[in-house]
A and B are shown apart, each in its own frame.
Chain A
Amino acid sequence: MISQLSTDADELGRYVTDALAGAGGMELLRDALVDPGARVPIEKILAQFGVWELDPHADAAEFEACAAVVRAAGSLALPYPVCERLAGRGAGAGVLLVAHEGTNLAAHADLDLDWTAVDLLGRGYSVARSGSRPMQSTLGSFVSEVDVVAEGRESGGDRRSEAATLMTLQGWWILGLLERCVADTAQYVQEREQFGRRLAAFQAVGFGVADMSIAAQKLEELAKYTVWSQSTNDAGTALVDALTLRAASLESAEVILRGTHQFHGAMGFCDETDVSLLSRASHLVRRLPMGVEQTFQRMTEAVLGQGLDGPFAGIQAVV
């Protein structure tokens, strides 16, 4: 077994990370928070790296490359629907993740893309209306309303593959964001001193950062497995696996972001601190289209129906 991304994917991820840093890094998000229109040029920045030529639906190699790209994007909470565009089919297309027919809230739905939508179980929707501007909200920056109508089976209502692809990529996006939070927190507690000692010297702090790191590692391993599953398994299994990744990513986010805020103290609430902005941006995935418990509920229903693959799945009792 191989549990490492391909060298090519790794290199692409590093390249995109460096290039985005050169293009402004976290300032890209700060600029967009002031002026949502600042999101639009990001599309061209990514185009320079050939990102829009990647197709996760094509083969395993391209899926891994997409995963590495969105991980890099997530580490900056890049204010552009990278996952949604990569998961969409066709140039200029994007697919949103929604909860149900009717009105939903979705990030970046106001951007001028050829939008469709899917829900967590792979039902397809057409977009009847999308908001013209994002709402004014601290935790909902770039979010707008979108009205969706269920597609009939004859017009492609079963879009499990797109739903699974989108959820998998969003899992990698949030992984990048959470890994950045762990790294920033580890650095902060080594620099900040109180009571004559670095915060890192206090055992409770070290243990807390360890818990955050382990949550990120568990998520990373699951994210890799889920990418492999998308290119290997049937649509039903791939969707269940993507659902498990989504649910696990929301669970990891709670642990890591709670720790991030706790160990940064008041600095972690200030907009000049990157983790404050990363925390705010995380809600675009953590809450939309539904939160952790509802997501686990959907996942449970899928697992009860489909099972969850493993060496002992469906084993008849040996002893």
Chain B
Amino acid sequence: MLDYTESPDLLNLRVKLREIMRQTIPSGFLGAFTYDSADLEVAENFCKELGHQRLLAMAWPKEFGGGDASAWEQMVLREEMWANHEPRGAQYMGINWVGPVIMRHGTPEQQQKFLPPISSGEVIWCQGFSEPGAGSDLPALRTAAKKVPGGWTINGQKIWTSYARMAQWCFLLARTGPAGGRKSGITVFLLEMDQQGVEARPVPSMLGNHHLNEVYFTDAFVPDAHVLGEVGDGWTIVSDVLAFERVGIARYARCERLLTEAPQALGESWADVPQSLEVRWAKALVHTRQARLMAYKVVDKQERGVVDPSDVAAYRIAVTTLDQEVAEVLMDLVGQMAVGTEDVSRHFERAVEDHWRYAQASTVSSGTLEMQKQLVARSLVGR
């Protein structure tokens, strides 16, 4: 029968995570990617604390530093993190999919080398996928890998690479087959960022510091031991990456939190909110609940071993459009401070402004809205 009750284990996990955040995250924290390096340090220390308590990679097997947690516990973790401005910073990527993909496709030596630092919160990964000519059309990538004694040299360029300037490792897609080979002839390389031949440059953007970078590879080197899976069979692994990114960021959690806080945050000035905006606020709360339930549908199926990519795509469409809807409602609610404020005591207003900027990428990153719709459409009406 239907049951949406959170078990005592899940409730206790929420309490535990909130307590850890209360102890380690300063008030006013709006994420790791600001221009204040102290925020990055907060995230790094937080990850180490979570890693110490085996909560950072909690869904991983214990042999790799995880907690053997269930998909539901992982969901709670995702919600609590996003609702609190993702204090794990860039490390969620390594936990969510880099590590799981290495578990699935890596050699024992690769697993021993790469997994413990991720689960203990000591390493940041970046994703070397998109290129100027290969965004949604990722198979069009051109960064090339050439075989040399002991390994490969990499030449090319990646773009939009989040966290590239802080990452120690890059999960890189490069072409080992002939140019124009599309999905055939792509290989996954685990590339060390700190080497001659790798240059990461920031791309200033409205999203905030560190979110967008371009990375140039000029005869960068990857040893044979750091090729993941079979040479030329990288697309199989890419498909797994997309599957592991399945539910992704729990955007609805921050939406719910900010919407719920709004009346109290506005205080007396809530009385001046026009009725039409109040209704939009309430509608957004309903849509938030719906997005959360769509996530639960995916997790429920995951727990039962059922994987349906169109379910995931439907959820992603719901939650990314929600993110933007809520962003607009919140910006309207905070009035003139929607353009920002230097008054750090205005935490809610600053959180709203930060949310709006990041929400603009919701329907673009990790598969655009149109790509997701295409997937849903094909499941319904074919090609």
Interface residues of A (CB under 8 A from B): 1-6, 9, 60-61, 64, 186, 189-190, 200-201, 203, 205-207, 209-211, 213-214, 217-219, 221-222, 224-225, 227-229, 232, 244, 247-248, 251, 293, 296-297, 299-300, 303-304, 307-308, 310-315, 317-319
CA of A1 to CA of B317 in the docked complex: distance in angstroms? Answer: 23
User: A303 contacts which chain B residues (CB < 8 A)?
Assistant: 282, 285
A296-B279 contact, Cβ under 8 Å, with A207-B373, A214-B314 = yes
Stretch of B80-88, B94-102, B185-193 on the interface side: B80-88
CB of A308 within 8 A of CB of B278, answer: no
Among A1, A205, A248, A311, the residue within 8 A (CB) of B286 is A248
A299-B286 contact, Cβ under 8 Å, with A4-B300, A6-B1, A319-B87 = yes
User: A60 contacts which chain B residues (CB < 8 A)?
Assistant: 1-2
Closest chain-B Cβ to A6's Cβ sits at a distance in Å of 4
B380 part of interface (Cβ distance < 8 Å): yes
CB of B260 within 8 A of CB of A5, answer: no
CA of A209 to CA of B281 in the docked complex: distance in angstroms? Answer: 27
CB of B6 within 8 A of CB of A222, answer: no
Stretch of B23-31, B48-56, B233-241, B338-346 on the interface side: B23-31
User: B294 contacts which chain A residues (CB < 8 A)?
Assistant: 217-218, 221
CB of B285 within 8 A of CB of A308, answer: yes
Closest chain-A Cβ to B49's Cβ sits at a distance in Å of 14
B377 part of interface (Cβ distance < 8 Å): yes
Nearest-neighbor residue (CB-CB) of B263 within chain A? A304
Closest chain-A Cβ to B352's Cβ sits at a distance in Å of 13
B contact residues, total (Cβ < 8 Å)? 62
CA of A242 to CA of B6 in the docked complex: distance in angstroms? Answer: 20
Interface string of B10-51 (1 = CB under 8 A from A): 000010001001100111110000000000000000000000
- Between-chain CB contacts (< 8 Å), 29 pairs: A1-B6, A2-B2, A3-B293, A4-B300, A6-B2, A9-B1, A203-B374, A203-B377, A206-B374, A206-B377, A207-B370, A209-B381, A210-B377, A217-B318, A218-B294, A221-B293, A221-B294, A222-B293, A227-B2, A232-B4, A247-B283, A251-B283, A296-B279, A297-B279, A308-B289, A310-B292, A315-B257, A318-B18, A319-B26
Closest chain-A Cβ to B326's Cβ sits at a distance in Å of 13
CB of B289 within 8 A of CB of A310, answer: yes
User: A304 contacts which chain B residues (CB < 8 A)?
Assistant: 263, 278, 282
Interface residues of B, dominant DSSP: helix
CB of A247 within 8 A of CB of B286, answer: yes
User: B244 contacts which chain A residues (CB < 8 A)?
Assistant: none
CB of B314 within 8 A of CB of A217, answer: yes
Closest chain-A Cβ to B374's Cβ sits at a distance in Å of 7
User: A315 contacts which chain B residues (CB < 8 A)?
Assistant: 83, 257, 260-261
Known: A203-B377, A225-B293. 9 other contacts (CB 8 A): A6-B1, A200-B377, A205-B381, A207-B373, A224-B293, A308-B285, A308-B286, A311-B14, A312-B256
Closest chain-B Cβ to A245's Cβ sits at a distance in Å of 9
Nearest-neighbor residue (CB-CB) of A187 within chain B? B381
User: B287 contacts which chain A residues (CB < 8 A)?
Assistant: 218
CB of B2 within 8 A of CB of A300, answer: no
Most chain B CB within 10 A, of A218, A222, A296, A303, is at A218
CB of A313 within 8 A of CB of B290, answer: no
Nearest-neighbor residue (CB-CB) of B293 within chain A? A221
Among A61, A189, A209, A214, the residue within 8 A (CB) of B318 is A214
User: A313 contacts which chain B residues (CB < 8 A)?
Assistant: 256, 260
Nearest-neighbor residue (CB-CB) of B255 within chain A? A312
Nearest-neighbor residue (CB-CB) of A213 within chain B? B380
CB of A312 within 8 A of CB of B278, answer: no
CB of A319 within 8 A of CB of B377, answer: no
B72 part of interface (Cβ distance < 8 Å): yes
A1-B4 contact, Cβ under 8 Å, with A213-B376, A214-B318, A247-B286 = yes
Nearest-neighbor residue (CB-CB) of B281 within chain A? A300
CB of B2 within 8 A of CB of A4, answer: yes
B149 part of interface (Cβ distance < 8 Å): no
B297 part of interface (Cβ distance < 8 Å): yes
CB of B377 within 8 A of CB of A228, answer: no
User: B87 contacts which chain A residues (CB < 8 A)?
Assistant: 319
Most chain B CB within 10 A, of A189, A293, A319, is at A319
B347 part of interface (Cβ distance < 8 Å): yes
Which 9 residue pairs across A and B have the least CB separation, nearest first?
Answer: A206-B377, A221-B293, A200-B381, A300-B282, A210-B376, A312-B257, A228-B2, A218-B290, A210-B377
- Kindly identify, within residues 56 to 95 of chain B, every residue whose CB is under 8 Å from any CB belonging to chain A: 72, 76, 79, 83-85, 87
- Kindly identify, within residues 268 to 312 of chain B, every residue whose CB is under 8 Å from any CB belonging to chain A: 275, 278-279, 281-283, 285-294, 296-297, 299-300
Among A3, A200, A293, A318, the residue within 8 A (CB) of B2 is A3
User: B378 contacts which chain A residues (CB < 8 A)?
Assistant: 206
User: A213 contacts which chain B residues (CB < 8 A)?
Assistant: 314, 376, 380
User: A4 contacts which chain B residues (CB < 8 A)?
Assistant: 2, 300
User: A225 contacts which chain B residues (CB < 8 A)?
Assistant: 2, 4, 289, 293
CB of B380 within 8 A of CB of A186, answer: yes
B3 part of interface (Cβ distance < 8 Å): yes
Closest chain-B Cβ to A219's Cβ sits at a distance in Å of 8
CA of A189 to CA of B381 in the docked complex: distance in angstroms? Answer: 8
CA of A3 to CA of B76 in the docked complex: distance in angstroms? Answer: 16
Closest chain-A Cβ to B74's Cβ sits at a distance in Å of 13
CB of A3 within 8 A of CB of B1, answer: no
Nearest-neighbor residue (CB-CB) of B2 within chain A? A228
CA of A313 to CA of B58 in the docked complex: distance in angstroms? Answer: 25
CA of A217 to CA of B373 in the docked complex: distance in angstroms? Answer: 14
CA of A232 to CA of B27 in the docked complex: distance in angstroms? Answer: 36
User: B281 contacts which chain A residues (CB < 8 A)?
Assistant: 300
Among A2, A209, A227, A293, the residue within 8 A (CB) of B380 is A209
CA of A310 to CA of B286 in the docked complex: distance in angstroms? Answer: 11
User: A201 contacts which chain B residues (CB < 8 A)?
Assistant: 383
CB of A214 within 8 A of CB of B376, answer: yes
CA of A313 to CA of B118 in the docked complex: distance in angstroms? Answer: 32
Closest chain-A Cβ to B207's Cβ sits at a distance in Å of 20
User: B1 contacts which chain A residues (CB < 8 A)?
Assistant: 2, 5-6, 9, 60-61, 64
